[in-house]
Amino acid sequence: MTPPAIMSNNSTEDKPKNAAFRVGLGDITPNNLGQLKRLNTVLFPVVYTASFYKNVLDVGEFAKIIYFNDVCVGAVCCRTEVVEKSSAQNLYIATLGVLAPYRRLGLGSKMLKHIVDHAELSTTPSIAKIYLHVQEDNEEALEFYKKHGFEVTEKCENYYPQFDVKDAFKLEKIIS
Amino acid sequence: MRELPQKEANLFKQILKCYENKQYKKGFKGAEQILKKFPEHGETLALKGLFCNHLDKKEEAYEFVKKGLRHDLKSHICWHVFGLLYRSDKNYEEALKCYSQALKIDKENIQIMRDFSLLQIHTRNYEGLVDTRHQLLELRPQNRQYWIGLAIAYQMMGKPDSGVKVLTAYEETLKDIPTKPDYEHSEMLLYHNSLLEEMGDIQAAYDHLDAIEKHVCDLKAIREKRAQFLLALGRQQEAEAAYRTLISHNPDNFAYIDGLQKSLGLGNKSLTAEEEAIVVGMFQELQKEYPRSNAAKRLPLRYASGDSFASIADEYLRSMLRKGVPSLFVNLKTLYSDKTKEAVIEKLALGYLAALDKSKGFDHSGSIVEPPTALLWTLYFLAQHYDYKRESDTALGYINRAIEHTPTLVELHMTKGRILKHAGDFNSAMESLNEARELDLQDRFINSKCTKYMLRADKVAEAEKTVILFARADIADPLHDLVDMQAQWYLLEAGESHLRQGQIGKALKRFHQVEKHFAEFTEDQLDFHMYCLRKMTLRAYISLLKLEDQLRSHQSFVRAAQGAVKCYVSIFDQPDGVEPPEMEGMTEAEKKKFRSKQRKAELKAQKEAEEKKAQADQELTKKGGKVDEDPEGVKYTKAEDPLGEALKFLRPLQELAPERIETHLMGFEIYIRKNKFLLALKSLLKAIKIDAENATLHEQLVRFALAVKKAGSALSPAAKTVIDKHWNDLYKGQDLAAVGNSFLKKSEEQGSVPHLISAAIASSLIEPKNDKAEAILFLMADDKYKSTRSLESALVAQKTLRSMRSGRVSEFRAKAAEWFPKATVFQSV
Ligand SMILES: CC(C)(COP(=O)(O)OP(=O)(O)OC[C@H]1O[C@@H](n2cnc3c(N)ncnc32)[C@H](O)[C@@H]1OP(=O)(O)O)[C@@H](O)C(=O)NCCC(=O)NCCS
């Protein structure tokens, strides 16, 4: 049997090695709100309102920016929604995105995991489920959420009336 | 009537105490009490004046002090008080006289002597200082301060050897030398050592280090000095060992590495191939020993050449681009003075880009996938590289790709702004900077840069709004706070913007504010003369004194002076204000009509502005701010002797920056207008000595010859003799036409646009017909002038055509627009 050290050596010769990089999550503050706006403008066709950005500053851990080698390259923004006749609330992911050159490096997963972890831990309010909408043709996002245990629960017709692809899927994950 | 009765005498002693304890109100009352009974008591009168001074009653202060003195001319107290009063008004010359009077009366008064010596060093009267400090020492030989004060006095007057004698004598009086290192004693010993070094006796200084080492706290200083002295003494091997030890303490200190190189005999500017290999080897060893040292990685790039340079640069660039070091380009651009190195770096970076695009690595080997930021930083680097070469379009291409890749990175927008600025599109540059600013609102640096770009685009109001975003919330007048905070970068940029816009008064206001800061820096010393002697921070104190003596050679002062001189010269040339471009080519009658129309409009605008200002002022006063009585700087534009004012800015430069040719070029502009032919001549001669080939100098030489000719017999015979004597130094025996022609020929040979412009101006002066001058200026359209055809020089050329009232201005503008397609100034309106 070949010793393991040599095996791993062999494998690096076959497959290209990724150079090391650093990833970290950061808070959204009034001072770097400009970066979030920038990101959303290039990542999403929707134009977000001033009240959207105001809310972002109030949701604490449910809105984050992600840094790759100290450069801001993605963000996630959620809001909590009251559920009728329940003390628990739902968490709605309004935006989650990573700049194109930085995809498939686990950044989206890191942000989503952060949101799910905090949803599970949250007690005031406690979170019943996390849900979101994805345009029908956004396959990478669908794959991404399914991989993280989200399920399509509904097809919402004409959800995005302003776009060419108007229909959307609703995906959700039950928390408690 | 000096003696007071017991009761009043006691009271008098009390008010003296009040002064020392800064109880000015109480002291004032006490003085009045004495004066009620003895209204002519001189010393009390003088003290009352001093209290008035501290209670903000200037006029009364002088009145009482002088009155006191009249009643008691023989009192040292009265003279001392008078001196203090002058000192508080910064009238040091008069203050010194008063102190000296006081000391004549009371020869052994320590307090007055101390005050006296303070002003003597402040005014750099070293001869007097040595005297005073000698006396102090004789009176108080136990006091260390007086010994050291005397040594410093000797050093500053250029006699470090006498300083050493004083210190040695002092050290001999010391009975119990502190056994444990004691900071103050240690500092004195190191100061002693610095005097030995200044004397040039390096051996003595070296031996002295050994002797004092066990008493010194600052061991780093000892180690550094020892290494330095060993090197100076030619003891190479020991020096090498000493520098190696220093490097082990800080492997990023360039000076240590430089010392090591010199101790190895490799300190020369140009190295043989063999030496080069050794130096590179030395750095490779250092890198191995200190893998975290940046200096060891960066410095070999300075020395290596050829293939060795290429391979070191390759490794360096890859590691920096992988890490993402924003300052990479700034770090490397000094290497660009060597064109081959520039080309190698360019080729490497372009290679990385191609490889990253295709296979995500710096090369096509496919062994490593670089992080996406590697592509980003490579694009960023290339953008800066081509911007440096002034290939604006290429640079913009790269920076736009980078922004598309990662639009959130602040640096990219800043660099885009810089590229646009260099291309001459100041408004778009400003917008890019504003985008950068909005990405990170808490970064004061970006905010300031953005402000600067707004000023470059002459958007003063927007700049003001932006810069005060970082003002403290509790400040009534944040803009003025910038003046108080000595934010010179802002004042200079604002002043230069006003100058560009022809707002001479406002511009001068800013330049004078900068000048005032320098006066404040000089004043600030006063506190240190006492403090440093007391705290024994001697080496820092000496370097402060030396710095203060050079203060006005600082770039900020030079800029302020250049701006102010331009302003004052323009006031002299155009007392009616700067002519706006619309007035170009008008006849006098048309100008008159235009002016009166303009004045009417101005009056109307002024009235509105005044109403607005009155309102703003009211609010400001409410908030406790101080109202600016002359926001337009009218008092400067109305200066009676503008050239004299200009000279005030020039003189410090003549003294402190005589090696800069600009100093003398400015001097010429002032003197020639004042008809001071000999001083103008002197400026020319100095400029020739610095750079006889300077472009502007040629134009000035021609102007000088013409002015001398025009003055004719008005020139005094004495002046004429001197000028004649130097005529050949200026014109090399040629007549003016020949001077002009040979200069033009040289400019063409060199392909230099600034020289062409100077040649054109000179030509238009020699023969006041435009066609020749115009033809010269249009030469710059030839491709061989491409490398020197900067945006600035094209602007100057256009301005020159304008002032010649040439008919070919728009033709030129169209050409310039081709050369600088982004530059807004050349776009037709
Ligand atoms: C969806 C998005 C956030 C994913 O970000 P990411 O950082 O690339 O995601 P990750 O690297 O963490 O991917 C995790 C997993 O999701 C799946 N996935 C992500 N992108 C995928 C794609 N294009 N195709 C197929 N599967 C994909 C994969 O299973 C992937 O794991 P793997 O890389 O080990 O195969 C990103 O593509 C994006 O920003 N898209 C644009 C914005 C958007 O549409 N957001 C969703 C609406 S809110």
Q: Is A56 in the pocket of ligand 1 (CB under 6 A)?
A: no
What are B280's two structure tokens? 């590179």
Q: A4: pLDDT confidence band, cut at 50, 70 and 90?
A: very low
pLDDT, tens digit, for every residue of B133-149? 999 999 999 999 999 99
Chain B residues close to A102, C-beta within 8 Å? 372
Nearest Cα of chain B lies from the Cα of A160 at a distance, in angstroms, of: 26
CB interface of B with A, residues 358-417, below 8 Å: 360-361, 366-376, 405-409
Average pLDDT over residues B446-468: 96
Q: Chain B partners of A30 at a C-beta cutoff of 8 Å?
A: 441
Tell if the CB–CB gap between A32 and B440 is shorter than 8 Å.
Answer: yes
Chain centre distance of CA B77: 42
**Percent of chain B predicted with pLDDT > 70:** 99
* pLDDT tens track for B651-698: 999 999 999 999 999 999 999 999 999 999 999 999 999 999 999 999
* pLDDT class of B500 with cuts at 50, 70, 90: very high
Report the residue of A38, A43, A70 to disrupt the B interface, i.e. the one with the largest count of B CBs within 10 Å.
A38
pLDDT value at B269 more than 80: no
Q: How far apart are CA B54 and CA B61, in angstroms?
A: 9
Handedness of CA B622, B626, B629, B631 (dihedral sign): negative
- What does the pLDDT look like over A6-33, one tens digit per residue? 333 334 445 677 888 999 999 999 999 9
**Residues of A marked as catalytic:** 92, 133
Chain B CB contacts of A15 below 8 Å: none
User: From atom 28 of ligand 1, which residue's Cα is the shortest distance away?
Assistant: A144
- Residue owning tokens 């491409």: B786
Longest Cα pair distance anywhere in chain B, in angstroms?
103
Burial of residue A134 (CB within 10 Å: 0-12, 13-18, 19+) is buried
| Shortest Cα–Cα distance, B445 to chain A (Å) | 14
Q: Which residue of A has its CA nearest to B323?
A: A69
Most A-contacting residue of B406, B433, B442 (CB-CB within 10 A), to test interface: B406
Amino acid at A15: K
Question: What are the residue boundaries of the structural domains of chain B, listed by start?
Answer: 1-92, 734-829
Please list every residue in chain A whose beta carbon sits closer than 8 Å to the beta carbon of residue B324: 69-71
pLDDT of residue B575: 84
What is the average pLDDT across B263-285?
91
Q: pLDDT tens digits for B163-219? A: 999 999 999 998 877 777 799 999 999 999 999 999 999 999 999 999 999 999 999
Would you call B510 helix, strand, or coil by DSSP? helix
Tell me the three state secondary structure of residue A32: coil
Lowest mean pLDDT among A56-70, B173-187, B638-652: B173-187
3-state secondary structure B617-641: HHHHHHHCCCCCCCCCCHHHHCCCC
Q: Give the domain ranges of chain A.
A: 6-174
pLDDT band at B829 (very low <50, low <70, confident <90, very high): low
3-state secondary structure of B459: coil
User: A6-174: which CATH topology?
Assistant: Aminopeptidase (3.40.630)
Q: What integer pLDDT is reported at residue B603 of this predicted model?
A: 82
pLDDT for residue A90: 96
CA distance B609 to B135: 62
- Residue B345, min C-alpha distance to chain A (Å): 23
Give CATH for domain B1-92: 1.25.40.10
Q: How far is CA B440 from the centre of its chain?
A: 30
- Scored b (16 or more CB within 10 A) or e, B555-589 reads ebbbbbbbbbbbbbbbbbeeeebbbeeeeeeeeee
- Name the average pLDDT for chain B: 93
Predicted local confidence at residue B185, as pLDDT: 93
pLDDT for the residue A14: 54
Q: Which secondary structure element, helix H or strand E, spans residue B9, and what is its range?
A: helix B6-20
What is the full DSSP assignment across B340-370? HHHHHHHHHHHHHHHHHHHHSSSSTT-SEEP
Ligand 1 atom nearest to CA at A112: 12
B439 close to A (CB below 8 A): yes
Q: Judge whether A17 is closer than 8 Å to chain B, CB to CB.
A: yes
The chain A residue lying nearest B356, using CA atoms, is A101
Please identify, by atom number, the ligand 1 atom nearest to the C-alpha of residue A96.
48
- Interhelix angle B753-766/B770-778, rounded to 10 degrees, is 170
Please tell me the distance from the alpha carbon of residue B85 to that of residue B98, in angstroms, as a whole number.
10
CA distance B37 to A75: 84
More confident residue, B742 or B270: B742
| Chain B closest-CA separation from residue A162 CA (Å) | 25
Residues of chain A neighbouring B367 (CB-CB closer than 8 A) = 16-17
Atom of ligand 1 nearest to the CA of A109: 12
CA-based nearest residue in chain B for residue A13: B367
**Sequence-separated (6 or more) residues with CB below 8 Å from residue A115:** A62, A64, A76, A78, A91, A93, A96, A130
DSSP annotation of A90 reads: E
pLDDT digits (tens, 9 = 90+) for B245-263: 999 999 999 999 999 999 9
Condensed to tens digits (0 to 9), the pLDDT of residues B376-402 reads 999 999 999 999 999 999 999 999 999
Closest CA to A34 of B418, B449, B410: B410
Q: Is the pLDDT at B331 greater than 70, yes or no?
A: yes
Q: How far is the CA of A109 from the centre of ligand 1 (A)?
A: 8
Give the pLDDT of residue B277. Answer: 94
**Of the candidates B193, B146, B194, B204, the residue with the CA atom closest to the CA atom of residue B170:** B146
Residues 25-84 of A with CB under 8 A from B: 29-35, 38-39, 41-42, 68-73
Distance CA B726, CA B705 (A): 12
pLDDT computed for residue B188 by the predictor: 95
pLDDT in tens, B96-146: 999 999 999 999 999 999 999 999 999 999 999 999 999 999 999 999 999
Cα distance between residue B306 and residue B151, in whole Å: 54
* Nearest residue (CA) to ligand 1, atom 20: A140
Calculate mean pLDDT across residues A142-165.
95
Residues A80 and A115: beta-carbon distance below 8 Å? no
Residue by residue, DSSP assigns B235-298 as -HHHHHHHHHHHHHH-TT-HHHHHHHHHHTT---SS--HHHHHHHHHHHHHHHHH-TT-HHHHH
Ligand 1 centroid to Cα of residue A100, in Å, is 10
pLDDT of residue B471: 87
pLDDT for B782 beyond 80? yes
Q: What is the pTM for the complete model shown?
A: 0.88
Residue to substitute in A73, A96, A104 for testing ligand 1 pocket (most ligand atoms within 8 angstroms of CB): A104
Residue pLDDT, tens place only, B4-53: 899 999 999 999 999 999 999 999 999 999 999 999 999 999 999 999 99
